[in-house]
Structures are given as structure tokens and as C-alpha cells.
């Protein structure tokens, strides 16, 4: 069920809503138009993404989980007993569960995500399955500074976990900024475990972002549903179309929403004009090699410690330690 749009006349918008509104309007005023990928993840968007991870065309989740299962004991050596494990952009806990089973006792597990509804639900289920584990969810934007819970701050070491190839959703300079921010949040002596998608054949990438069932298209279009619901938008979904393609020059898959006709749309009381064929750029997914991600991390203050890949070299998990 879709909640009724909040009355802008009588309701005071929350800080989160105000940020969403400002970012969306700034992006729609820009040339070319864009909206940050982090805004995909309302409750419906998070559920659609979980459906994407189960699609036959979408290999990253299966590859990453296989690496975690096969190499979990090696990865666990980077997490000393009594450490706090901080998962950035956690969403579903299914990858963390694999790692948690391999780890020695932790001071706390801190899942951090912009969608508080989902991580609260996941935390409740984790507490049942890991009764000895202190699970402390934090609702926050992982691209910004946020404060860790006291139990994590008091731990002798903090280890970051950033699975799911989410690092590929950042432009390289944004990825470097995230890595620097993660270093400040985790503090001295920290380690960071990052999952990332590797450069591969274009047909494999195309299929992963243009699935036959249309779930990725629905996920992309849900962004317009969210804008309509939360910002009083007037987007008509049948006048926009999902486009995804590989940009060879930049080693990234791009996702766009293309207007199928010339039209005007209102968002938060402001009129936005679209030409036929004009797009909103909604996501990038950069692909890396082990060497190129290591170079990016070094520039942000992290030293490569280890790397693991699946047998086809579709996906990799790389571990870093904080310099100095």
C-alpha cells in the first residue's frame, strides 16, 4: 500500500525529507538531469533490490556470497576478537550472517543504512539467530559523517564491512571521499572489507542490468513513485522508460530513466520540463580490477592487505588496513 503524500501545507517536513527534496530538485534542474542512487532505497526500493539479487542474470550477489563462504575463515583473521563490525549500507543481513558465523566474539555488530525500516527488521531477526551478539542498527547516510554507538566506540578495534559492490555506485572521487570518511568513522587501527564488481564481458553486464523479468526496470521507476509520494510529484510512470548500458570509456554501467515524450512534471510545486528522449541519470556502477581499486584506496589512506575472487573473476572482496 502506498502512503498518502504528506500535506505540504500543514506538515512540517523532517530533515530527511528536506534533504531529499533539495537533492531531487537540484538534480532535476541540472544539465543533464540526475538523482542520486542512494534515493532508490525506500522500503519498496530495498525490497525490489533484494528481488534483483535473486535473478538469474544478476551474478554479483551469488559470486560475493560464494567468496564469503569459501574464504570466510581467511577474511575472519582480519577481525580480531572483541572488535566492532560496522557494515556500511547493510540493507539485507544475508552477507553479514556468513561473515558473523566465521568471526570470533565481537563487541558489537553495527549495520548502517539509509533505510531504517529495513535494518531494524533485519536487526530483530539477527538478535534471535545470534543471541550473544550486540546488534545496534544505525540509520544514516553512509556518505556523511555519523556517530557510532558507544559499544562500537569503546571496542579496541573497529572493522568496516562494505559488501555488495556499492562502492561502484560512487564516481571515483566520491569513492575516495567515502573511503576517507570511513577511515575517520572507524578510527586508528581499523580494517575495511570491500566487495566490488570486476570488469568483464559487456554481454554479461548488459544482461545483469536489463533482466528479462523487468525487476531492474521496476526498481529504477520506483524512484519516480517515491518522488510522487514524498514530494508531491506528478510523474506518469508509463511515460518514462528504464535504460541501462555499459560505458566503455569509464568502465561503468549507467542507468537512466528516459522520457518517452515532451512533457512537464511538477515536483514539490516546481515545474520540470523534459524533451522527448531526455533522461534522468539515476545510477552508475563502476567496475574495477583488484589493482585499480587498490590504487584508489591507497590515495584515500588505506593499504591493501588481501584480495579474493571467484573462479571466473567476476567479483572480488578486498581487505584494507588504515595507513598510519
- Tell me, yes or no, whether 99 and 40 share the same domain: no
Q: Kindly state whether residue 16 falls inside one of the protein's structural domains.
A: no
Residue 2 in any domain: the answer is no
| 12 located within any domain | no
Which pLDDT score, from 0 to 100, does residue 202 have?
A: 98
Same structural domain, 215 and 276:
yes
Question: Are residues 266 and 144 part of one domain?
Answer: no
The pLDDT score that the predictor gives to residue 1 is 31
Is residue 285 very low, low, confident or very high in pLDDT (cuts 50, 70, 90)? very high
Maximal CA-CA distance, the chain: 59
Domain carrying residue 91: 60-200+289-322
The sheet with strand 138-139 has its strands ordered as 138-139, 108-113, 84-88, 158-162, 191-197, 315-322, 302-309
Flag whether pLDDT at 12 surpasses 90: no
3-class secondary structure, 172: helix
Q: 178 and 231: one domain?
A: no
Q: pLDDT (tens digit, 9 = 90+) per residue, 223-260?
A: 999 999 999 999 999 999 999 999 999 999 999 999 99
Specify the pLDDT at position 7: 27
Residue 308 within any structural domain of the chain: yes
- Cell 534471535 found at: 128
Residue 6: per-residue pLDDT: 26
Across 64-90, average pLDDT:
96
Examine residue 184 and state whether it is found in any structural domain, yes or no: yes
Does residue 22 form part of some domain? no
Residues 192 and 294 in one domain: yes
Same domain, 113 and 96: yes
How much of the chain, in percent, has pLDDT values that exceed 90? Answer: 90
pLDDT at 5: 26
Q: Indicate the number of domains in the chain.
A: 2
In a domain, 135, yes or no: yes
Reported as a single tens digit per residue, the pLDDT across 195-223 is: 999 999 999 999 999 999 999 999 999 99
Mean pLDDT across 4-33: 69
- Give the Cα separation of 148 and 145 in Å (integer): 10
Whether residue 158 is found in the same domain as residue 75 = yes
**Same-domain status, 209 and 189:** no
Q: Are residues 170 and 268 in the same domain?
A: no
Whether residue 278 is found in the same domain as residue 149: no
- Mean pLDDT to the nearest integer, 92-103: 94
Band of residue 323 on the pLDDT scale cut at 50, 70, 90: confident
Q: Is residue 252, in this structure, part of any structural domain at all?
A: yes
Residues 227 and 113 in one domain: no
Q: What is the pLDDT of residue 10?
A: 27
CATH assignment at residue 130? 3.40.50.150
Q: Which residue has the higher pLDDT, 17 or 261?
A: 261
For 139, 227, 228, the CA distances from 6, given in Å and listed in that order, are 21, 12, 11
Which three three-digit cell numbers place residue 258? 528516459
Average pLDDT of every residue of the chain: 93
pLDDT digits (tens, 9 = 90+) for 168-202: 999 999 999 999 999 999 999 999 999 999 999 99
For the segment 263-291, the average pLDDT, to the nearest whole number, is: 98
Q: Do residues 109 and 137 share a domain? A: yes
Amino acid at each position: 500500500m502506498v502512503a498518502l503524500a504528506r500535506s505540504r501545507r500543514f506538515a512540517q517536513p523532517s530533515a530527511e525529507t528536506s534533504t531529499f527534496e533539495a537533492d531531487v530538485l537540484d538534480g532535476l534542474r541540472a544539465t543533464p538531469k540526475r538523482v542520486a542512487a542512494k534515493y532508490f532505497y525506500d522500503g519498496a526500493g530495498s525490497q525490489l533490490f533484494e528481488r534483483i539479487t535473486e535473478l538469474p542474470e544478476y551474478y554479483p550477489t551469488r559470486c560475493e556470497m560464494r567468496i564469503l563462504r569459501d574464504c570466510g575463515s581467511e577474511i575472519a583473521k582480519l577481525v580480531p576478537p572483541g572488535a566492532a563490525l560496522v557494515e556500511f549500507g547493510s540493507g539485507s543481513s544475508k552477507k553479514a550472517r556468513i561473515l558473523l558465523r566465521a568471526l570470533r566474539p565481537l563487541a558489537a555488530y553495527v549495520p548502517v543504512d539509509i533505510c531504517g525500516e529495513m535494518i531494524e527488521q533485519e536487526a530483530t531477526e539477527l538478535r534471535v539467530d545470534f543471541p550473544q551478539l550486540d546488534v545496534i542498527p544505525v540509520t544514516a547516510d553512509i556518505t556523511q559523517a555519523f556517530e557510532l554507538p558507544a559499544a562500537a566506540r569503546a571496542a579496541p578495534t573497529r572493522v568496516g564491512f562494505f559488501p555488495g559492490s556499492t562502492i561502484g555506485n560512487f564516481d571515483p572521487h566520491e569513492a575516495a571521499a567515502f573511503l576517507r570518511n570511513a577511515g575517520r568513522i572507524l578510527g586508528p587501527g581499523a580494517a575495511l572489507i570491500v566487495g566490488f564488481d570486476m570488469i568483464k564481458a559487456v554481454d554479461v553486464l548488459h544482461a545483469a542490468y536489463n533482466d528479462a523479468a523487468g525487476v531492474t526496470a521496476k526498481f529504477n521507476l520506483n524512484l519516480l513513485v517515491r518522488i510522487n509520494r514524498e514530494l508531491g510529484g506528478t510523474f506518469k510512470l508509463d511515460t518514462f522508460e528504464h535504460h541501462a548500458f555499459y560505458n566503455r570509456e569509464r568502465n561503468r554501467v549507467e542507468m537512466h530513466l528516459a522520457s518517452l515524450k515532451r512533457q512537464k512534471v511538477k515536483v514539490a510545486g516546481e515545474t520540470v520540463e523534459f524533451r522527448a528522449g531526455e533522461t534522468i541519470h539515476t545510477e552508475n556502477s563502476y567496475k574495477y580490477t583488484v589493482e585499480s581499486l587498490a590504487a584508489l584506496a591507497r590515495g584515500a589512506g588505506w593499504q591493501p592487505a588481501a584480495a579474493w575472487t571467484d573462479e571466473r573473476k567476476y567479483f572480488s572482496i578486498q581487505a584494507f588496513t588504515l595507513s598510519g
